[in-house]
């Protein structure tokens, strides 16, 4: 996702990765006071291992430098929020695909194929949601249909900050009007 010349995903990652490491370790420490990403990295799925392992837990980890994180928080985030607000001018919500393709087949945990090219699974599937995390705006994903092979397709609905009531009302109305949700076969 690009706004002007800014690659929102790449910029958002400079904020999301360090915060993700901190928050996951804090969560794990509720169960294991000695928990770190380093200790549990090998127990995570290959796609998440690759993502978090770029920051911590492997010999080749290269964490986002502190100055890059701070610059992203103080400068780039402000620009991204302004761009998001401008994109919503005159609109109630912003609609995007939840992911840019249906779920990857089992076994394509690290790389998947998109339009004939091999791409990283994790960043491909989080490309449309990560920037919204940085904006701090409310967003929700609702069922929007199914692929030719029966995999679910989601619609992401995002609203301005503090407009959760409007967001939930629109999401509910969409679900009631489309009746797309169906219980999985177990």
Rounded to an integer, what distance in angstroms lies between the CA atom of residue 168 and that of residue 159?
10
Rounded to an integer, what distance in angstroms lies between the CA atom of residue 160 and that of residue 15?
20
Cβ within 8 Å of residue 92, ≥6 positions away: 159, 166, 170
Asked if pLDDT for residue 135 goes beyond 50, the answer is yes
| 31-86 per-position pLDDT tens digit | 999 999 999 998 888 888 888 888 888 889 899 999 999 998 888 888 888 888 88
Query: How high is the pLDDT of residue 140?
Result: 95
Which backbone phi and psi does 138 adopt, to 5 degrees? -75, 145
Q: Which domains does the chain have, with CATH numbers?
A: 2-178 (3.90.1300.10)
In the chain, what is the greatest distance between 2 CA atoms, to the nearest angstrom?
Answer: 51
Give the bridge partners for 153, in sequence order: 145
Note the residue count of the chain.
186
| 108-132 per-position pLDDT tens digit | 778 888 888 988 888 788 878 777 7
Closest C-alpha to 1, from 99, 70, 72:
99
Please state the three-class secondary structure of 26-80 as a single string. Answer: HHHCCCCCCCCHHHHHHHCCHHHHHHHHCCCCCCCCCCCCHHHHHHHHHHHHHHH
Cβ within 8 Å of residue 70, ≥6 positions away: none
């Amino acid at each position: 996702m690009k706004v002007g010349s800014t690659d929102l995903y790449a910029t958002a990652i400079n904020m999301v990765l360090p915060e993700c490491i901190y928050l996951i370790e804090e969560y794990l420490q509720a169960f294991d006071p000695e928990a770190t990403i380093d200790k549990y990295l090998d127990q995570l799925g290959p796609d998440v291992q690759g993502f978090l392992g770029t920051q911590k837990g492997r010999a080749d980890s290269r964490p986002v430098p502190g100055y890059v994180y701070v610059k992203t928080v103080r400068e780039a985030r402000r620009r991204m929020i302004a761009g998001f607000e401008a994109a919503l001018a005159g609109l109630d919500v912003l609609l995007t695909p939840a992911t840019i393709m249906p779920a990857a087949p089992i076994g394509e945990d690290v790389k998947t194929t998109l339009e004939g090219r091999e791409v990283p699974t994790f960043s491909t599937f989080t490309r449309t949601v990560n920037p919204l995390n940085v904006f701090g705006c409310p967003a929700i994903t609702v069922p929007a249909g199914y692929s030719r092979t029966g995999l679910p397709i989601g619609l992401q609905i995002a609203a301005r900050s503090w407009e959760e009531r409007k967001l939930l009302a629109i999401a509910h109305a969409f679900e009631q009007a489309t009746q797309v949700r169906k219980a999985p076969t177990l």
